[in-house]
Every structure is written in C-alpha cells, then in structure tokens.
Amino acid sequence: VDRIFSGIQPTGTPHLGNYLGAIQNWVNLQEECSSVLYSIMDMHSLTMPKEPAVLRQNILDTTAAILACGIDPKKCFLFRQSLMKRASQNSEGTVGLLTYPVLQAADILLYKSTHVPVGEDQVLHLELAQDIAQHFNKKYGEFFPVPKAILSTTKKIKSLRDPAVKMSKSDPQKLATVSIADSPDEIVLKFRKAVTDFTSEVTYDPASRPGVSNLVSIHAAVTGLSIKEVLHQATGLDTAHYKMVVAESVIQKFAPIRNEIKKLQEDKSYLIKVLEDGAEKAKELAAPIYQEIRRLVGFQ
C-alpha cells in the first residue's frame, strides 16, 4: 500500500514556492491515497527562530495556511513533529545542520512511507533516506519501502529578485518571495519589480531566460493552464505588461485562501486541536513500526 509523507518547516505563512512545489500536490494526494501524513517540522532547527513565542506563532500560522490551502484533517494526519519525538532534542546549530538530513530520513522511514511529495530542493535529502532504507533492508531483511519523490511540474520556483536562486523564506530581499497571504498591493509590487532581462517579448526558455520563464511557470501553475496556453495568452504583451497579468492571476488564485487563513488564525484552539489529534493518530501508526525496528536491530 502507498503511504504519503511530507513536511514543512514552520517559518510562518508558506510562499509561492512551497505551495506550487509541494502543498498543491499534498492537497491532490490526500484525495487519491488512504494513508497520508503531513508534518509541521518544528524540531528541525535550520532556519527557525529560537524565540519560543515566535516559534509558537509560526507553527499556528503555518497550520492555518496549510488548512486554508485545502488540507483536510479528515483525509490525512496533520501533526507537529515535536509532539512525536523525544530523541534528538538538542540538535542545535552546527549539529542541527549535520544531522538534519538524517532526521529527515527518520521522519520519512518511521511511517514506512512510500512516497514523499516535495520540491526539487529536497531531492538530495530524500536520496539519503533511500540509501538508509536500502542499507537497513540489506542488513536486517526487507523492511522499509524505498521512498520515492513526487515532484510537481513547478518543482522549483525562483526568487523574483534573482532567478538564479530558488524562492526562499530566508531570502533577505523582501521583494524576492511572495507569501500566499500577501495583499494584492504587495503581490503587484513584487511582480512589477521582478527581475527579467532586456528582451521585451514573453517566451519560455528557462536556460537562457530564467526570469521571464519563472513568471510563465507561475502563471501556468496558478491558472492550471499549460505553458503553451499561457504563452498564447501573452502574445503581443511586453514583459512589463505580462508581469501585471501574472500578478493578477496570483491575486485571483490566493484571494480565497488568504481569507481562509485569516479566519483560521483567529481560531487558535481549533488549530491546536487539529495538530494534537493528528499527532495521536501518527503516534499510533508509528508505534508498532518503531517496535519492529528495535526488535530487528536487536535493541529488544
């Protein structure tokens, strides 16, 4: 049987890259599969604020956003990682950096996950999980499925300020990253300032024209149209006008989600309850697998 697992760091409201690279797939997969787990990875201390109050708020904001995107706690287990784990609590700073991919492999394998919907930047991390699964199976007998990545068509959304790098929450340039809760004004501003090149025509060629191609990818992804259809719509527009078309499509797509985020953010106790219920179910699922791992290894 298939088991879907994925996670997100609680850096607050997700951005366009998180949504198009991963969360949109999460929503589709919960409809198709019967065993689906999504986790707020609050114990991976890579890019996380250390201030407890900020972290607590970010966890709730991330949860509200994921639910607003269409994740349904009746169709999947949505939980906080820290409600699950006792080990590795002190993996801070450099140790955190070193152990991060190993922890991520453990997250995935603990549920015998078969598929992991992620953006392209997580593929290397996933390969470590695959190696560990294979290594374990060789030593102790076939036990773990080797987890496969599920990538979306927009597996890598680029920064709006520098199309050579991915869109990232930690980007110091405010205009580089579009949050899915940004206001229409903010969205227009960020797309208006998006870095393209000196050719005014709209074409799709990620290698030679990464900036405008990133806009075309975003446009296609949020409208559900193909690249070809989007290019057809852009016929005759210069990049400056096209940026406003893309901004408008992003505003349209996220307007209902943005409203829903605001509503959910006001219901803290609901958010906390969703995460707690999810953790209960995830624990139940993991417990026998964890016992079996301990037995196979000889810890008991």
Binding site for ligand TYM (CB under 6 A): 5-9, 17-18, 21-22, 41, 44, 104, 107-108, 116, 118-119, 121-122, 125, 155-157, 166-167
CA atoms within 13 A of residue 257's CA, in its CB half-sphere: 29
Report the nearest approach of ligand TYM to the CB of residue 226 (Å).
19
Q: Which residue, 49 or 267, is less far from ligand TYM as judged by CB? A: 49
Nearest to 217 by CA among 183, 249, 257: 249
Q: Which residue, 115 or 243, is less far from ligand TYM as judged by CB? A: 115
Burial of 68 (0-12, 13-18, 19+ CB in 10 A): buried
Q: Which residue, 106 or 272, is less far from ligand TYM as judged by CB? A: 106
Structure tokens, 69: 């995107």
Q: Which residue, 72 or 121, is less far from ligand TYM as judged by CB? A: 121
CA atoms within 13 A of residue 206's CA, in its CB half-sphere: 12
Q: Which residue, 157 or 202, is less far from ligand TYM as judged by CB? A: 157
Q: Cα-flanking dihedrals φ and ψ of residue 4, to 5°?
A: -95, 135
Q: Which residue, 24 or 196, is less far from ligand TYM as judged by CB? A: 24
How far is residue 239's CA from residue 262's CA, in Å, rounded to a whole number?
33
Report the nearest approach of ligand TYM to the CB of residue 238 (Å).
26
Report the nearest approach of ligand TYM to the CB of residue 168 (Å).
6
Q: Which residue is nearest to ligand TYM (CB)?
A: 21
Nearest to 167 by CA among 8, 14, 25, 16: 16
Report the nearest approach of ligand TYM to the CB of residue 9 (Å).
4
Burial of 55 (0-12, 13-18, 19+ CB in 10 A): middle
Structure tokens, 284: 């139940």
Q: For 69, which DSSP code?
A: T
Report the nearest approach of ligand TYM to the CB of residue 123 (Å).
8
Report the nearest approach of ligand TYM to the CB of residue 110 (Å).
10
Burial of 92 (0-12, 13-18, 19+ CB in 10 A): exposed
Report the nearest approach of ligand TYM to the CB of residue 227 (Å).
17
Report the nearest approach of ligand TYM to the CB of residue 146 (Å).
14
Q: Which residue, 8 or 133, is less far from ligand TYM as judged by CB? A: 8
How far is residue 29's CA from residue 9's CA, in Å, rounded to a whole number?
20
Burial of 65 (0-12, 13-18, 19+ CB in 10 A): buried
Q: Which residue, 136 or 267, is less far from ligand TYM as judged by CB? A: 136
